[in-house]
Structure 1
Amino acid sequence: MMTQNLLIELLVEELPPKSLKQLGDSFAQLLTASLEVQGLMNQNALVTAYATPRRLAVHIGNVAAQAADKAITQKLMPVKVGLDAQGQATPPLLKKLASLGADASVVPQLKRELDGKTETLFWDSIATGTALTDGLQKALQETITQLPIPKVMTYQLADGWQSVNFVRPVHALVALHGADIVPINILGLQAGRETQGHRFEAKVNPIVLKDANSYAQQLSTEGAVIASFAARREEVAHQLAVAAAQENLTPIDDDALLDEVTALVEHPNVLVGTFNAEFLKVPQECLILTMKANQKYFPLLDAQGKLANKFLLVSNIRPLDPAQVIAGNERVVRSRLADAKFFFDQDRKKTLASHVPELDKVVYHNKLGTQGLRMHYVRAIAKMIGEQLGGDALANQADEAAKLAKADLLTDMVGEFPGLQGIMGRYYAQYEGLSDEVAFAIEDHYKPRFSGDALPRNPVGVCVALADKLETLVNMFGIGEIPTGDKDPFALRRHALGIIRILTEKNLLLDLNALISQVIKIIEDKNIPTQWASSQQSTVVTQQEIIAKGSSELLLTFICERLAGNLREQGSTAQEVDAVLSLNPQQLSDIPKRLAAVRAFAALPEAASLAAANKRVSNILKKSGGHIPEEVHTKLLQEEAERTLHQTLTTLLPETETAFAAGDYTASLQILAKLKLPIDTFFDHVMVNVEDELLRNNRLALLRQLQQTMNRVADLSKLAVN
């Protein structure tokens, strides 16, 4: 069947830049999926998505003018319903056939087959393939309704009476199959071959497309538009790199900003702007954020990563003299940076400590009270952790940092740019002359903020970061705010992963179970300062009641689930992770060493046999029931195999315990290789569940001792092949 390339374009008003890439990709994927289902295109056909601020388009290779006919078998009805005693068609059968476009003449062709236990009539027929016009009409309608549009617009058509819905008003529809127009209509528009180029720089407007294949070339040469999002993004990145290199500087690396700028221009032109070096006295994070967020500029950094007083702007026009464009942008950025400088200067007129009482007026959660009350708990938790990690000196520093950690939320700068919380607290603390330990802890207590983010830089920051995250998790679980599915409005999964990373990567000797219990105790103690006692007593009582109902167990399970997922993402197998975590190790800093030991053990020639034996031992002990003695009585060891196993265990036990106590988990496990032969011999020659109760219990005690010896580092039965 004849095939030609197909082009579909919707010419629209300016699309939302942050969602343009997704809209373009979804438009192409949804449209091609529908055409493929209808048999109009091959799944291996080349598909090219196009997306600019003013258009969504897709070019599809080898699309058929009509889908191939195909044989289909249709189930009609039971024979006893469709045929009378003489084998003639009944009225229900004739009615069914008529609905399928057939009549009584096909009755002799009907097949009788069993459908379950019922003899049923089936009709084999040929379905005519879908014509491209019908198939494309259907595909485009489905695509428009399924596009990921967060909020649609309702607008009137040209007749002034009809209204339609789409992300932005659509002004033209192009549908070309080769050089031929496909006569479809959508959103009140009839398909044609005309589109529009750049608003100001197109050589001709409208652009009359010759055929589907000339689309990108004609838009480029006649319309001054780079239609491909990917190609336009690459061009912007190239121009940014060239312009920055000419200044011996580097543009800031920000993929999200690059995507957004690509979605704002059709004919990118990168220019260099300058601002007064006086503004560099303001923290560079403030200047960078205001240039990126408000103006979509690319700040420039020197070789040391310091902000220069130059920036790159991406214009959508290419005038012969760009001076006016540059001057206009410099004028705008000057005002933005002046605002940032004003906020910075104003904030420094007050100390961070002066903002702390104002936290009593900031609601944290309607069931948990204010930020002031919350930070009262965080201070106590941070101090407790500090005492465990570094004694009174660290505890006092952690308390001071926790007291000031949220104070910058009340500053003008953070009020304008919430993304600077913590960062501005650090700058203001340093300006006041506070120690770097406290200042950096104020910034770092939010870390890690995302996957791969840095951890707190110093022990004070570690204490406050752990305290902040633990308080959030315990209190949120305490009021029943537990993440479900994709919903996690308080980022509790991120908080749990942050705790895991800090405990493991900082190698902290803190017991997770004990830590959570201590946090719950701090909250349950009702040690509420006077200013909160009357207004928030009832909230805290309700919270304690929920905590008492077992949220600590839920929280531990929640953290362990995050831990297991994190370990698998880092390359450990599910079996290895299960083997280690099934012992519920409370010092998370131990887990990487345990996993490494398990991997080394699994490489031993004896590993498979020992794991299988361990699993067999576990099953025997589970089924034994009753009380198993603590000690093995040597006088009851009758068989040579059980005496040998007991002797080997007695010899190896001090070695494994010494290695385990020293934290050498690999050696502790590898010593177990010597148990293979005694264990195999034991199971070959010894019956455990004998009738003699004393003998049976003694052998069960021997197996339990074996299990305890083998499973100090990990549950090796989890490594057994099922």
Structure 2
Amino acid sequence: MSELLLELFSEEIPARMQARAAEDLQRLMSDKLHEAGLHFTLARTYVTPRRLALVVEELPTAQPDVREERKGPRVGSPQAAIDGFLKSAGLKSIKECEERDTGKGVFYFAVVEKKGRPTADVLPAIIVDCIQQMPWPKSMRFADLTQRWVRPLHHVLAVFAGTVLEGGVPMGGNTELAFTSRTRGHRFLSPGEISVANSSDYLVKLKAAKVVPDPRERRSLILAQCRDRALKEGLTVKSDEGLLDEVTGLVEWPVVLMGRIDPQYMPLPPEVLTTSMRTHQKYFALQDKNGTLAARFLVVANMDTPDKGAQIVAGNERVLRARLSDAMFFWEQDQKVHLADRLPALKDIIFHAQLGTVGQKVTRIEALARHLAGLIPGCNADQAAQAARLAKADLTSGMVGEFPELQGIMGRYYAGIEGHAPEIADAIAHHYRPLGPTDLCPSAPISLAVALADKIDSLVGFFAIDEKPTGSKDPFALRRAALGVIRLILENGLRLKLRDVFGFAYSGFYDQGGFEQNQPKAVIAQLLDFFADRLKVALREQGVRHDLIAAVFALGDEDDLIRLMARVKALQDLVESDAGADLLAAYRRASNIVRIEEKKDAASYDGAADPAKFIQDEERTLFKGLEQEAQIARKRIANEEFVAAMGALANLRAPIDDFFDRVTVNDPDPSLRSNRLRLLSTIRATLNAVADFSKIEAKAEA
């Protein structure tokens, strides 16, 4: 068993692509090695800005020998068929074949023994295939070369069992990048070449050459240095996992340095300071013991310097001053124009070619927020409408133009400065929330109304113009919007009828001359199906079964998510009980019998059974039980007493079991048979009135 060490050395790989590239290289190499019969125990990857490396441990030194039997033509077949078989098997004479009686005649069989090739001879082609198949999000072609790579590829280190593999990577034309055992260390701190023999040698020599190849180790080093630097100043690092991941991909030898923020810029909103530092400069923000932003920042350099980073810090402080000077200018200038005075400019911003301008969207969400205010306890309709009207105004501000990440946040600051109520200012800041599964949901009534209005308007609009998500594509983030609506409703216990809300939102578009008035039913139906799918995703981690959500949604009359979840919970308690499991089994049995007999008879048995035709007590008992329990279930559901409604259904278990034990459905008497099939159909209809039991998966019967 031997080891393969592969390194692809290039110019700087974008940080956002590194982790995925390492996964892709390991996947491609692993798959191709297994296909070649070269099985190994472990593969691990390393990635830095300039290199993508893979180590495969305990590879065999040769492929296994293969013995393969091939069945040929029947003995006595035409010579052309025999010659073709011999050629495909690599044989020269039919005498090299065996004749076997298969029970269906005597056939020729060829036994082909293929000796495994040395691994060192197989690896070069595998490596080249992997390089050519790497799925970079974006790649480059260089000069007159045809080989594409994310950035200019300088060398390919390929060492197996301590020996450089023969061959190289064809780059196009007559150019080939020959395999080598040499690599390079840090671009500035150790620019010379390094010769390596194996992965241990590789890791040790790279460390000595000021390169930390393992991204996990670099990440830990950066975090530890940041915390140590902050602690010495009595500060803490503002948590930012995304920035930590990005910076890890920007350096090979991390050195954390601390700089100062010019005090004249500290009056800027903290979000402006942190966004400027994070987005443009990749700095970590620091906080004091009270959680207040400190006038310090941390920068991760890729250098050790004789002056302990003094010049690096000074340069970064100078660049930050320029950035914050621009931010201060925008901050001061933006305050000279009131949010309300910015609204006319929204008419010049296109929201979507088919959905109008941002100004038109604001008009729609203002009306929708006012409507929703009447459905949200404690929500002032006038304030909700005003917050919706001002929610997008900061899009025309200089600060948001410079830092788009601050939209909504700057609106809150400007609204507060202008003297608007805190509830309105907060609603402006929170109307984009939640932005993801970990983002907090607004809970204030006005914030709820505006956040819901914004998301529902987008969902209805894009579904109406048939811009629905497809597969992995969701360019308008409609899945996120739907999940946001679901969270806003469920986490705040809102009792909304989605069908009515969607209809009101749709009316906002045709009030603006956008859509036909006879279209909303189809759009609403599609949206409800979409919400059913999103609800399954949203509740999966809570252990709520997706098939039960589908069973309740399938009724077509349930669009109140709070009530729907109560029904689903009660249904789950039922089907996971012994009585419920038996009831579900009986439902399936009844449904299957009715379906089979309807198909055979080309008839429907959906009608009510005739009590006068019952001749067995079990028929009468079941019929009476279905009437009584169905009536109780309907009443309980109307009162939203879903547990009691499911309990009524559970009472049907015994009479249904007795019916199947003692009554012959397919009686020779056609009249009795038809009546009993209608009784079975009534079982199906009774249960389906509570939930579509056909949607419930069989695992519930376990």
> TM-score, normalised on structure 1?
0.86
* Corresponding position of 1:368: 355
1:221-250 Cα offsets, whole Å, 9 max, x none, are: 2x1111112222222222222223333333
1:304-350 Cα offsets, whole Å, 9 max, x none, are: 44322211111111224222222221121222222222222211111
1:492-548 Cα offsets, whole Å, 9 max, x none, are: 222222222222222221112222223223433x3x3xxxxxxxx5xx2xx327836
Instruction: Give secondary structure in 2 for the equivalent of 1:388.
Output: coil
Residue 621 of structure 1: CA displacement? 7.1
* Corresponding position of 2:543: 571
Q: 1:20 aligns with which of 18, 21, 32?
A: 18
Residue 687 of structure 1: CA displacement? 6.4
* Corresponding position of 1:238: 224
Does residue 141 (structure 1) correspond to residue 128 (structure 2)? The answer is yes
Question: What is the distance in 1 between the residues matched to 2:303 and 2:112?
Answer: 60
Residue 179 of structure 1: CA displacement? 2.7
* Corresponding position of 1:182: 165
Instruction: Give secondary structure in 1 for the equivalent of 2:651.
Output: helix
Question: What is the distance in 1 between the residues matched to 2:321 and 2:444?
Answer: 37
For structure 1, the 5+ residue unaligned runs are: 529-536
Q: Answer whether contact 2:443 2:492 (CA < 8 A) is retained.
A: no
Instruction: Give secondary structure in 1 for the equivalent of 2:159.
Output: strand
* Corresponding position of 1:532: none
Q: 2:185 aligns with which of 197, 206, 209?
A: 197
Residue 671 of structure 1: CA displacement? 4.3
How do 1:367-446 and structure 2 match up within 5 A? 367-390=354-377, 394-446=380-432
* Corresponding position of 1:312: 298
Q: Answer whether contact 1:456 1:462 (CA < 8 A) is retained.
A: yes
* Corresponding position of 2:572: 599
* Corresponding position of 2:7: 9
Question: What is the distance in 2 between the residues matched to 1:277 and 1:504?
Answer: 44
Q: 1:336 aligns with which of 323, 330, 333?
A: 323
How do 1:245-394 and structure 2 match up within 5 A? 245-320=231-306, 321-390=308-377, 394=380
Question: What is the distance in 2 between the residues matched to 1:627 and 1:103?
Answer: 72
Residue 356 of structure 1: CA displacement? 0.8
* Corresponding position of 1:49: 45
Does residue 103 (structure 1) correspond to residue 92 (structure 2)? The answer is yes
Amino acid corresponding to residue 166 of structure 2 in structure 1 = P
Q: Answer whether contact 1:444 1:457 (CA < 8 A) is retained.
A: no
Q: 1:83 and 1:669, CA in 2 relative to 1: closer, same or farther beyond 3 A?
A: same
Does residue 580 (structure 1) correspond to residue 571 (structure 2)? The answer is no
Does residue 227 (structure 1) correspond to residue 204 (structure 2)? The answer is no
Question: What is the distance in 2 between the residues matched to 1:358 and 1:413?
Answer: 15
1:627-671 Cα offsets, whole Å, 9 max, x none, are: 735xx9987776544554466567666765665444332233234
Q: 1:687 and 1:162, CA in 2 relative to 1: closer, same or farther beyond 3 A?
A: closer
Does residue 714 (structure 1) correspond to residue 685 (structure 2)? The answer is no
Residue 486 of structure 1: CA displacement? 1.6
Q: Answer whether contact 2:594 2:681 (CA < 8 A) is retained.
A: yes
Does residue 169 (structure 1) correspond to residue 152 (structure 2)? The answer is yes
Q: 1:176 and 1:620, CA in 2 relative to 1: closer, same or farther beyond 3 A?
A: closer
For structure 2, the 5+ residue unaligned runs are: none
Q: 1:82 and 1:140, CA in 2 relative to 1: closer, same or farther beyond 3 A?
A: farther
Q: 1:625 aligns with which of 597, 604, 608?
A: 604
Identity %: 36
Question: What is the distance in 1 between the residues matched to 2:631 and 2:449?
Answer: 37
Instruction: Give secondary structure in 1 for the equivalent of 2:142.
Output: strand
Amino acid corresponding to residue 562 of structure 1 in structure 2 = R
Q: 1:121 and 1:513, CA in 2 relative to 1: closer, same or farther beyond 3 A?
A: farther
Q: 1:425 and 1:281, CA in 2 relative to 1: closer, same or farther beyond 3 A?
A: same
Instruction: Give secondary structure in 1 for the equivalent of 2:435.
Output: coil
Question: What is the distance in 2 between the residues matched to 1:476 and 1:436?
Answer: 32
Question: What is the distance in 2 between the residues matched to 1:567 and 1:91?
Answer: 64
* Corresponding position of 1:551: 523
* Corresponding position of 1:533: none
1:550-574 Cα offsets, whole Å, 9 max, x none, are: 3332222222222233333432234
Question: What is the distance in 2 between the residues matched to 1:303 and 1:700?
Answer: 75
Instruction: Give secondary structure in 1 for the equivalent of 2:138.
Output: coil
Q: Answer whether contact 2:587 2:684 (CA < 8 A) is retained.
A: yes
* Corresponding position of 1:664: 641
Q: Answer whether contact 2:132 2:147 (CA < 8 A) is retained.
A: no
> TM-score, normalised on structure 2?
0.88
1:280-310 Cα offsets, whole Å, 9 max, x none, are: 3222122111211111111113344432221
Amino acid corresponding to residue 470 of structure 1 in structure 2 = I
Amino acid corresponding to residue 254 of structure 2 in structure 1 = P
1:76-112 Cα offsets, whole Å, 9 max, x none, are: 667666637xxxx966566556xx4x433xx212245
Question: What is the distance in 1 between the residues matched to 2:538 and 2:149?
Answer: 41
Q: Answer whether contact 1:612 1:717 (CA < 8 A) is retained.
A: no
Q: 1:574 and 1:550, CA in 2 relative to 1: closer, same or farther beyond 3 A?
A: closer
1:587-630 Cα offsets, whole Å, 9 max, x none, are: 1112322222123223433222222334455567775737735x
1:390-448 Cα offsets, whole Å, 9 max, x none, are: 59x62222211111111111111111122221221122112211112222222222122
Question: What is the distance in 1 between the residues matched to 2:562 and 2:124?
Answer: 60
User: Between Structure 1 and Structure 2, how many residues are aligned?
Assistant: 686
Amino acid corresponding to residue 558 of structure 1 in structure 2 = F
Amino acid corresponding to residue 544 of structure 1 in structure 2 = E
Question: What is the distance in 2 between the residues matched to 1:342 and 1:76?
Answer: 84
Instruction: Give secondary structure in 2 for the equivalent of 1:318.
Output: coil
Worse overlay, 574-583 or 397-406: 574-583
Q: 1:210 and 1:144, CA in 2 relative to 1: closer, same or farther beyond 3 A?
A: closer
How do 1:10-159 and structure 2 match up within 5 A? 10-40=8-38, 42-43=39-40, 45-74=41-70, 83=79, 92=84, 96=88, 100=90, 102-104=91-93, 107-111=94-98, 121-156=108-143
Amino acid corresponding to residue 370 of structure 2 in structure 1 = K
1:339-398 Cα offsets, whole Å, 9 max, x none, are: 22222221111111111111111111112221112222222222222223359x622222
Q: 2:657 aligns with which of 680, 685, 689?
A: 680
Amino acid corresponding to residue 601 of structure 1 in structure 2 = L
1:108-130 Cα offsets, whole Å, 9 max, x none, are: 12245799989865432222323
* Corresponding position of 1:613: 586
Residue 696 of structure 1: CA displacement? 8.7
Q: Answer whether contact 1:401 1:438 (CA < 8 A) is retained.
A: yes
Q: Answer whether contact 1:504 1:590 (CA < 8 A) is retained.
A: no
Question: What is the distance in 2 between the residues matched to 1:500 and 1:449?
Answer: 13
Question: What is the distance in 1 between the residues matched to 2:655 and 2:564?
Answer: 30
Q: 1:382 and 1:700, CA in 2 relative to 1: closer, same or farther beyond 3 A?
A: farther
Question: What is the distance in 1 between the residues matched to 2:649 and 2:291?
Answer: 53
Question: What is the distance in 2 between the residues matched to 1:176 and 1:348?
Answer: 63
Amino acid corresponding to residue 178 of structure 1 in structure 2 = A
Worse overlay, 699-708 or 163-172: 699-708
Residue 277 of structure 1: CA displacement? 3.5
